[in-house]
Amino acid sequence: MADTPRMLRIAAAQLGPIAKDEPRTDVVNRLRAMLADAATHGVELVVFPELALTTFFPRWFTEEVSGHDQYYETAMPGPETQPLFDDAKNLGIGFALGYAELTPEGERFNTTILVERDGSVVAKYRKVHIPGHDGDEPWRPFQHLERRYFQESDEGFPVHRAFGGIVGMATCNDRRWPETYREMGLQGVELIMIGYNTPIHYAPDPGQNALQGFHNHLCMQAGAYQNGTWVVGVAKGGNEEGVESLAQSAIIAPSGQIVAQAMTTGDEVIVADANLDWCANYKETLFNFATYRRPELYQRIGSQKGVIEPPT
């Protein structure tokens, strides 16, 4: 008789806008409402977006980096976020939560924490690919100063045994890079959780604006399929402080198909039953890395800077 499939009921808890002056406790209450809603549907793991506790503050320049300190967490859980951890334990529901982290050493990371169903911390992921710019660029209709307010993590893309499978995390711009998925794919990942804040307007090349929704799903669906993994992509969408951001949160199967998608640009919970054993259908056939993947034959990929000079 076949083994019982490893089923995990997962949710993407999309957030609508968070106002600049919205108190942290109000935001936490919005998250708690979504956790409770998900729990009534038997969900075991809820994924919240990138920087889910505050407005997307890197859109405003401050002379001193510390000018935005009020948006960072110095402890997780802290006094305002502890109720989320208590809910996790009481409801038996895990979550992934994106937030701005300020360490005791003064380092600033764009971080996601993964919490198990008993309220314990499984892992912390710090964003690797930091987009945008670090200097004041007032010509833009709004700025994207992530490179001023966050440093790049050198901790890579580890995976973790949790929720009955092998899980990993990535954050927003990470989802556009194939290496993100492949690093975790090589470690056997079965579920990747990704939060994002993606403004529709892309100042360096507004020609991409109309394609934001397409590119969002394109990269996550490809990453899921090419690595035989579930992907949960969850937005903070809608019009936040005058900036329109992409919603379209999605849960994607190892086939690359979207099995659930948000319909609104506000707070919305979408749910899917993820059969983690489906990953093997791809990992053990078309994308059997051990049998078919040939990095030793990809002659130039090992170049130090990752950039290959074209022939002259």
219 is catalytic: no
Of 44, 73, 101, 127, the catalytic one is 127
Does 71 bind ligand CDV (CB under 6 A)? Our answer is: no
Does 48 bind ligand CDV (CB under 6 A)? Our answer is: no
Show the tokens assigned to 251.
Answer: 């849960």
| 10-18, 38-46, 71-79, 168-176 -> range binding ligand CDV (CB under 6 A) | 168-176
Cis peptide before 77 (omega within 30 of 0): yes
Does 131 bind ligand CDV (CB under 6 A)? Our answer is: yes
50 is catalytic: yes
Does 196 bind ligand CDV (CB under 6 A)? Our answer is: yes
Three-state DSSP state, 13: strand
Does 77 bind ligand CDV (CB under 6 A)? Our answer is: no
Nearer to ligand CDV, 89 or 201 (CB): 201
Longest dimension (CA), the chain: 65
Does 197 bind ligand CDV (CB under 6 A)? Our answer is: yes
Does 132 bind ligand CDV (CB under 6 A)? Our answer is: yes
127 is catalytic: yes
Binding residues among 97-126 for ligand CDV as defined by CB under 6 A: none
Of 44, 172, 219, 240, the catalytic one is 172
Centre a 10 Å sphere on the Cβ of residue 2 and count the other Cβ atoms it contains. 5
| 115-123, 196-204, 261-269, 275-283 -> range binding ligand CDV (CB under 6 A) | 196-204
Q: What one-character-per-residue DSSP string does 238-305 give?
A: EEETTEEE----EEE-TTS-EEEE--SSSSEEEEEEEETTHHHHHHTTTT-HHHH--GGG-TTTT-TT
Q: Tokens 């440093």 belong to which residue?
A: 151
Q: Strand 268-275 and strand 45-47: pairing?
A: unpaired
Nearer to ligand CDV, 67 or 131 (CB): 131
